[in-house]
Amino acid sequence: MMRTRPLKVALLGCGVVGSEVARIMTTHADDLAARIGAPVELAGVAVRRPSRVREGIDPSLVTTDATALVKRGDIDVVVEVIGGIEPARTLITTAFEHGASVVSANKALLAQDGAALHAAAEEHDADLYYEAAVAGAIPLIRPLRESLAGDKVNRVLGIVNGTTNFILDKMDSTGAGYQEALDEATALGYAEADPTADVEAFDAAAKAAILAGIAFHTRVRLDDVYREGMTEVTAADFATAKEMGCTIKLLAICERAADGASVTARVHPAMIPLSHPLASVRGAYNAVFVESDASGQLMFYGPGAGGAPTASAVLGDLVAVCRNRLNGATGPGESAYAALPVSGMGEVVTRFHISLDVADKPGVLAQVATVFAEHGVSIDTVRQQGRQDGGGEASLVVVTHRASDAALNGTVEALRKLDTVRGVASIMRVEGE
């Protein structure tokens, strides 16, 4: 039966995502009410620049005082789409203290302070939902938290940043320059306010921390995630990848160790074979594989960024949180009971592609191979190519079998000390095989 008193929603931030949330709340008001069992009313919209015209939003709802809005006491759900750490964190905790539940898209904040925010939600019998924080529109948080709650997740691997996938895809398919591709991603509303978060992979690392935490029932913070951005990926790297039948993607990889006693989380550019489904993820799309004991491999795919797709995830959370409130209940909170240690990058085992500039003379190959053997790194393939410039140098491209990051680092350090190795041109991990 439909309740007539509306549930009141406060919207904090009316930018790319917030303006779409407001639009959908208005245009889909009847459907949302029917699905929830009560009407939802936009009770206030906190903005930074009140003079901006906001189509479809009653100007009397607009305020620059977000704190007063969350303190009103009659707000049922606060939707935080401001981003960043402060004032978002204080506004969310104040919202809990004043009886509201919270829906947020803020991965940076959740990766840094998720545990404290969950504790605050629990203390005040409120919900904290954040489907939009990871992989935009793609349902991923709720499947991990709820649908897979009876299974054991061993690995989460995928593309979780739309901006960098858009840039890498453009560079690969059209030969576009890095800046040109980034400007386009920003204009389309994919990039963060400061695109450093995207291209230096802080955004993807925050998402990896959130995913690993939920998947492994363990607290994983941003600082626990190994991070390498994509600003140093060059056209030459794409050419090498192509020669190997691969492309380059910025991947987030969260894994349980083989003995199950620890976990790792990392974000870095990697080569993947063109035959792998992740290789054909284009533009700002995201795709994430989840591997679990009973389910086997699941793939989640869809728009990972942009105003409307992200608003879709926010609205889904809003409906769920409103239903919980009508039932006098709360949904699942933090689950960190496993408390597994999070290992550093040295423990990660993967394959590597290493390109060396070496002297083009007898015995060099044997010398290089010996260094790999001494560090316990097994070589899969080696390709040597003499240079046409007559400088007496050659390129040596080595692809290894699976080896630990620590063993590979030791190998590279020793290779650099050989007189015959003039330089290490590139090192890239090879995933997805």
Ligand X SMILES: NC(=O)c1ccc[n+]([C@@H]2O[C@H](COP(=O)([O-])OP(=O)(O)OC[C@H]3O[C@@H](n4cnc5c(N)ncnc54)[C@H](O)[C@@H]3O)[C@@H](O)[C@H]2O)c1
Query: In the complex, what is the shortest distance from the CB of residue 47 to ligand HSE, in angstroms, rounded to a whole number?
Result: 20
Interaction of residue 237 with ligand HSE, rule CB under 6 A? no
Distances (CA, A) of 133 to 37, 84, 108, 312, 401: 26, 12, 9, 12, 35
Distances (CA, A) of 49 to 63, 65, 106, 135, 149: 9, 11, 20, 28, 42
101/106 with CB nearer ligand X? 106
132/214 with CB nearer ligand X? 132
User: Would you say 313 and 194 are in contact if contact means Cβ atoms under 8 Å apart?
Assistant: no
Burial (CB count within 10 angstroms: exposed 0-12, middle 13-18, buried 19+), residue 16: buried
| Residue 16 contact partner, candidates Na ion, ligand HSE, ligand X, none, CB within 5 to 8 A by sort of partner | ligand X
39/307 with CB nearer ligand HSE? 307
Interaction of residue 310 with ligand X, rule CB under 6 A? yes
Q: Which of 18, 39, 83, 136 binds ligand HSE (CB under 6 A)?
A: 136
Specify the stretch interacting with ligand X by CB under 6 A; choose among 78-86, 257-265, 320-328, 333-341. 78-86
| Residue 250 contact partner, candidates ligand X, Na ion, ligand HSE, none, CB within 5 to 8 A by sort of partner | none
Q: Which of 8, 71, 170, 207 is catalytic?
A: 207
The CA dihedral of 164, 169, 170, 173, to the nearest 10 degrees, is 170
- For 363, the 3-state DSSP assignment is coil
Specify the stretch interacting with ligand HSE by CB under 6 A; choose among 26-34, 156-164, 290-298, 327-335. 156-164
| Residue 198 contact partner, candidates Na ion, ligand HSE, ligand X, none, CB within 5 to 8 A by sort of partner | ligand HSE
- Site residues (CB under 6 A) for ligand HSE, limited to 55-114: none
Question: Which letter, b or e, does each residue of 209-229 get, where b requires 16 or more Cβ atoms within 10 Å of its Cβ?
Answer: bbbbbbbbbbbbbbebbbbbb
Q: Which of 44, 114, 158, 189 binds ligand X (CB under 6 A)?
A: 189
Specify the stretch interacting with ligand X by CB under 6 A; choose among 15-23, 233-241, 332-340, 360-368. 15-23
H or E segment to which residue 114 belongs: helix 107-123
207 is catalytic: yes
Distances (CA, A) of 280 to 166, 174, 233, 376: 12, 15, 18, 34
Residues 6+ apart with CB under 8 A from 214: 141, 144, 145, 335
Q: Return d(Cα 345, Cα 178) in angstroms, integer.
A: 28
Strand 153-159 versus strand 285-292 pairing type: antiparallel
Q: Which of 40, 278, 305, 340 binds ligand HSE (CB under 6 A)?
A: 305
Query: In the complex, what is the shortest distance from the CB of residue 348 to Na ion, in angstroms, rounded to a whole number?
Result: 25
* Known binding-site positions for NADPH: 107
Residues in contact with ligand HSE by CB under 6 A are 136, 161-163, 190-192, 198, 203, 304-305
Write out the catalytic residue numbers: 207
